[in-house]
Amino acid sequence: MSLLRLAYVSTCAPGLSLDDVYKIMRVAHPWNVENGVSGMLCWSGEFFLQCLEGERRTVTTLFKNIAADARHADVEIIVAAPTNTRWFGEWGMGFSRLMASHRLDLPSGRGASFNPYLLEAVDMESTFEQLSQLAQRLSIE
């Protein structure tokens, strides 16, 4: 099986609330588990940053649906690459609420307040590792 890791950033639609994000997660989590997709969604109130991992066709189709969703705009893929390992194998979909105070130490040297549009492919593993540890994890179960 050919695994794909895809990370993207987008800008939230005006007025998108934490409750709206919970609704997304309540649908995404079981679907992802059923379809072999793992990953993490990060939400700052202004931006989304998401990593999806799974079979190439499944992730590609899922991303096309996500990109067309009106709850966000300016969707940009940061990285889409084959992989042999998963960063989020134990998560159908992890969720982290990002705080304005978060600072990242990134390989590209762009460690600053969180603006995912400034991230580069080389930053992805470190970014998601740090965000999974530092960001507030919220339960949707």
pLDDT at 92 > cutoff 60: yes
* 113/65: higher pLDDT: 65
Q: State pTM to two decimals.
A: 0.84
pLDDT digits (tens, 9 = 90+) for 126-141: 788 877 775 444 444 4
Q: How many angstroms separate the CA atoms of 84 and 25, rounded?
A: 26
Mean pLDDT of the chain: 83
Confidence of residue 99 (pLDDT cuts 50, 70, 90): low
Per residue in 14-56, pLDDT (tens digit) is: 999 999 999 998 898 899 999 999 999 988 888 999 999 999 9
Domains of the chain: 3-137 (3.30.70.100)
Q: State the pLDDT confidence band at 93, using cuts at 50, 70 and 90.
A: confident
